[in-house]
Amino acid sequence: DAVDHQQGFVLYAVQHVLSLLGEVCDRALKTVLFQKFNVHRRLRPEALAARIEKSSLLDISEITHMAGELNDTGIAEEIRRITGAASGTESMLLPMAFPEGSPMHPSYGAGHAAVAGACVTILKTLFDHTRPFDLAGDAAPAFVPTRDGARLATVEVYDELGNPSAMTVEGELNKLAANISIGRNWAGVHYFSDYWESLLLGEQVAIQLLREHMLTVPESPKLRVPRFDGTRLWL
Residue 1 has a pLDDT of 54
pLDDT for 3 beyond 70: no
105 part of the active site:
yes
- Pairing relationship of beta strands 142-145 and 152-155 according to DSSP bridges: antiparallel
Q: Read out DSSP for 114-174? A: HHHHHHHHHHHHHTTTTSB--SSSSS--EEEE-TTSSSEEEE-EE-TTS-EE--BHHHHHH
Q: How far apart are CA 133 and CA 119, in angstroms?
A: 19
- Confidence bin at 216 (pLDDT 50/70/90): confident
For residue 228, the 8-state DSSP code is: T
The active-site residue out of 112, 129, 190, 213 is 112
The active-site residue out of 5, 16, 40, 105 is 105
pLDDT for 153 beyond 60: yes
Distances (CA, A) of 228 to 137, 163, 224, 233: 27, 20, 13, 11
Residue 137 has a pLDDT of 64
The top-scoring range by mean pLDDT among 9-23, 64-78, 126-140 is 64-78
Model pTM score: 0.85
Q: Closest Cα to residue 76, out of 97, 90, 57?
A: 90
Q: What pLDDT, in 10s, does the model give residues 159-201?
A: 778 888 888 899 999 999 999 999 888 888 999 999 999 999 9
CA-based torsion, 68, 70, 76, 79: positive or negative = negative
pLDDT for 147 beyond 80: yes
Q: What pLDDT, in 10s, does the model give residues 73-119?
A: 999 999 999 999 988 899 998 888 888 888 999 999 999 999 999 99
129 part of the active site:
no
Question: Higher pLDDT residue, 96 or 38?
Answer: 38
Q: How far apart are CA 159 and CA 143, in angstroms?
A: 16
Q: How far apart are CA 139 and CA 154, in angstroms?
A: 10
